[in-house]
Chain A
Amino acid sequence: MMRAREFVQPPGVGQAILPADTLSSVSRRQMESRRQPGLAAPQRLLLLLLSLFLAFAPTLPAQSIPYSRPVETAPQAETIGGGYKTPAVQKPLPRDAYLQMLDVLLLAAAMGISVWLVIKRRSRKWAVALTIGSLAYFGFYREGCVCPIGSIQNVALALTDRTYAIPMVVTATFFLPLVIALFFGRAFCGGVCALGAIQELVLLKPVRVPPRLDRALGLLKYVYLGLAIFLAIKPALGRDFLICRFDPFVGFFRRTGAPHMLLLGGGFLLLGMFVGRPYCRYLCPYGGLLAWCTRLARRGVTITPDKELDCGLCAEACPYGAIEHMRAVRKDCLYCARCYASCPRDGELAHTKAELVHLS
């Protein structure tokens, strides 16, 4: 899936990845002297933590490079003269902390709206609008980063590897949808997830997957989840981020990618025209986690059996096989609100009819 930002606790990096000279005492002094007053609070905190680390980091021997330039030989602005000023080297900063926080807030807001639209308003129309909005922002604008699905690996690694750390943004991105699922079900899947959204929108003519096959295929995602965690928590050299690597749709979000991955994504979309959200139902490892949390959910999409009318239109409308025996299977419900839209006694259809009756 989308790659979550990866954050490593610096001492571990120093030992495992960094060449000795990049952490030489000289550069450390330079770095500290580079700190400037008047920075924003989060940056100041970052710098404080950084300098704390630097103070305690082990001194590493300088790596010997066989050739060295004895003195600075490049002409500087004062020798060039003519009022010349050395321009700053172009080096854009990583995404600002407040923008990263904004992503988390948007994620939370989108899930809240999704819950409200589907459970309270029972509005398929607005749920689709939210899906499109999420696809545009989290998918095409943010190019699929950060996402909870990929963050599984980072969280697993951060929990097991002493030297690996993830920033609060990733922690929040991972836990928020799970907490929502504990109370309201898979609101993340319906209104927010960009991977889900792209599949949701291509669904043309869903065929019913035989329940037994559906259940069997559904187990795949747990295998995938286990494999992804297993590979992610391996020692640094053998480590692999399977979910990110085989994200079928991120190539579309980024408008670039390896041909075989784009082909795979195309395949999923093609399949998704007839089988509702195949990646979500059968492969998505985060979907597996959400499904388990949803089992404990207090509220969710509810199908109320009607005393007079057992039409089953809702079950027909559900492309995900999440309505069995006129009851919503909340762990499989992907918050699309199709059932409500199709219900003759509830939702938009019912309201429209009522109005018509009233008018006539």
Chain B
Amino acid sequence: MTYRQIRVIGGKGNAPGQFATSLRCLAVDAHGQLFAGGDSEIKLFDAAGRLKRRWSTSRPVLSLAVAGDGAVYAGQPGQIEIFDGAAKLVNTWRGETLLGRVTAIGFVKDGVLAGDAADRAIRHFDRTGKFRNHIGKHNPVNGFLIPNGVVDFAVDAQGVIHAANPGKHRVERYLPTGELLGHIGRFHGTDPAGFGGCCNPTNVAVRDHIYVTEKAGPRAKVYDFNGNLQAVVASAPFDPNCKNMSVAVDGRGLVYVADTVKLAVFVFEPVTV
């Protein structure tokens, strides 16, 4: 399997469809629409990459997720803002201790998951925002090893949480109850099948495969659920100083990667030979 770049969305600038200072997070909904967060703003691009809507958040957006009902959850420092499909703010969950810095949001059957990078753990809430349990917190190092400053995870169709643990060079599998099921990945400095550097992968997305991004040198890769490398999506387009590149996959198999220095979303399409 190989990938080719089909589109670049955004870029650094002050135009409505561009990002002025930051691009931190991506999410795609069931219709292939792309939500991109940065500059304390959420931008909605349609499936063809045209800007459809943009609205502000009260704090810088660190993470985005779209629920099954079309509600948009925006993770921020100290809070999660929930918008309805029309970009109207419907709720705000606040909590300095449980939501220190929300760098990832996901959904399981009856709950909401939030990755708190300030405490290096994933929080499990019910749909009303009531705290249930920690995920990934109870280990010798008291959480995920994230020198990169981002807890990122994705939830697969079975409700299993795939969380990046960059300091261990692993993507770990957890149940929503917090039980560790296993992991994929190992360190390797030269083999593309391994994760290089001090702490990789930084970000993860899941659909039929596990999609990850790495920093230094930046690249996006695809693994199957057994940890076998399927493809290197790309590495050349990204700025070498990129780090914590958010990744998202839509139903068509398109891979969206946010370049945090160029402030652009690179869209890749799988090519079947």
Determine whether A and B are in direct contact in the complex, meaning some CB atoms lie less than 8 angstroms apart.
yes
- A: residues with CB less than 8 A from B are 66-67, 69-71, 73-75, 79-81
With A67-B241, A67-B261, A79-B120 already in contact, the answer to whether A73 and B147 are too (CB < 8 A) is yes
Q: Does B146 contact A (CB under 8 A)?
A: yes
Chain B residues near A66 (CB-CB < 8 A): 261
Closest residue of B by beta carbon distance from A74: B147
Q: Does B235 contact A (CB under 8 A)?
A: no
Please list the 7 inter-chain residue pairs (A to B) with the smallest Cβ-Cβ separation, ordered nearest first: A73-B149, A73-B147, A67-B241, A79-B142, A71-B149, A81-B142, A74-B147
Bound CA span A70–B148, Å: 10
With A79-B142, A81-B142 already in contact, the answer to whether A71 and B120 are too (CB < 8 A) is no
The smallest beta-carbon distance between A181 and chain B, in angstroms, is 61
Q: Does B101 contact A (CB under 8 A)?
A: yes
Whether the pair A73, B148 counts as a contact (CB closer than 8 A) is yes
Whether the pair B142, A73 counts as a contact (CB closer than 8 A) is no
Bound CA span A73–B143, Å: 13
Chain A residues near B146 (CB-CB < 8 A): 73
Residues of B in contact (CB 8 Å), total 13
A-B contacts, 9 listed (Cβ < 8 Å)? A67-B241, A70-B149, A71-B117, A71-B118, A73-B117, A73-B148, A73-B149, A74-B147, A81-B142
Closest residue of B by beta carbon distance from A81: B142
The smallest beta-carbon distance between B152 and chain A, in angstroms, is 13
Q: Which of B69-104 contact A (CB under 8 A)?
A: 101
The smallest beta-carbon distance between A100 and chain B, in angstroms, is 42
The smallest beta-carbon distance between A72 and chain B, in angstroms, is 8
Chain A residues near B261 (CB-CB < 8 A): 66-67
Chain A residues near B141 (CB-CB < 8 A): 80
Q: What secondary structure prevails in chain B residues at the interface with A? A: loop
The smallest beta-carbon distance between A37 and chain B, in angstroms, is 33
Closest residue of A by beta carbon distance from B100: A71
Bound CA span A71–B148, Å: 10
Name which of A66, A69, A74, A79 has the most chain B CB atoms within 10 A of its CB: A79
Q: Mark B133-177, 1 if CB is under 8 A from A, else 0.
A: 000000001110011110000000000000000000000000000
The smallest beta-carbon distance between B137 and chain A, in angstroms, is 11
Chain B residues near A73 (CB-CB < 8 A): 117, 146-149
Closest residue of B by beta carbon distance from A79: B142
The smallest beta-carbon distance between A230 and chain B, in angstroms, is 46
Chain A residues near B117 (CB-CB < 8 A): 71, 73
Whether the pair B142, A71 counts as a contact (CB closer than 8 A) is no
With A79-B120, A79-B142, A81-B142 already in contact, the answer to whether A71 and B147 are too (CB < 8 A) is no
Closest residue of A by beta carbon distance from B261: A67
Chain A residues near B149 (CB-CB < 8 A): 69-71, 73
Closest residue of A by beta carbon distance from B148: A73
Bound CA span A118–B241, Å: 69
Bound CA span A80–B148, Å: 16
The smallest beta-carbon distance between B144 and chain A, in angstroms, is 11
Chain A residues near B147 (CB-CB < 8 A): 73-75
Bound CA span A38–B140, Å: 41
The smallest beta-carbon distance between B134 and chain A, in angstroms, is 14
Chain A residues near B241 (CB-CB < 8 A): 67
Chain B residues near A67 (CB-CB < 8 A): 241, 261
> Can you add 15 more A-B contacts, CB < 8 Å, to A73-B146, A73-B148, A80-B141?
A67-B241, A67-B261, A69-B149, A70-B149, A71-B118, A71-B149, A73-B117, A73-B147, A73-B149, A74-B147, A75-B120, A75-B147, A79-B120, A79-B142, A81-B142
Bound CA span A81–B139, Å: 12
The smallest beta-carbon distance between B1 and chain A, in angstroms, is 33
Q: Which of B115-138 contact A (CB under 8 A)?
A: 117-118, 120
Closest residue of A by beta carbon distance from B145: A75
Closest residue of B by beta carbon distance from A82: B140
Name which of A70, A79, A80, A81 has the most chain B CB atoms within 10 A of its CB: A70
Chain B residues near A80 (CB-CB < 8 A): 141
Bound CA span A253–B148, Å: 48
Chain B residues near A81 (CB-CB < 8 A): 142
Q: Which of B35-83 contact A (CB under 8 A)?
A: none
Chain B residues near A70 (CB-CB < 8 A): 149
Closest residue of B by beta carbon distance from A72: B149
Bound CA span A3–B101, Å: 52
Bound CA span A281–B101, Å: 72
Bound CA span A244–B147, Å: 46
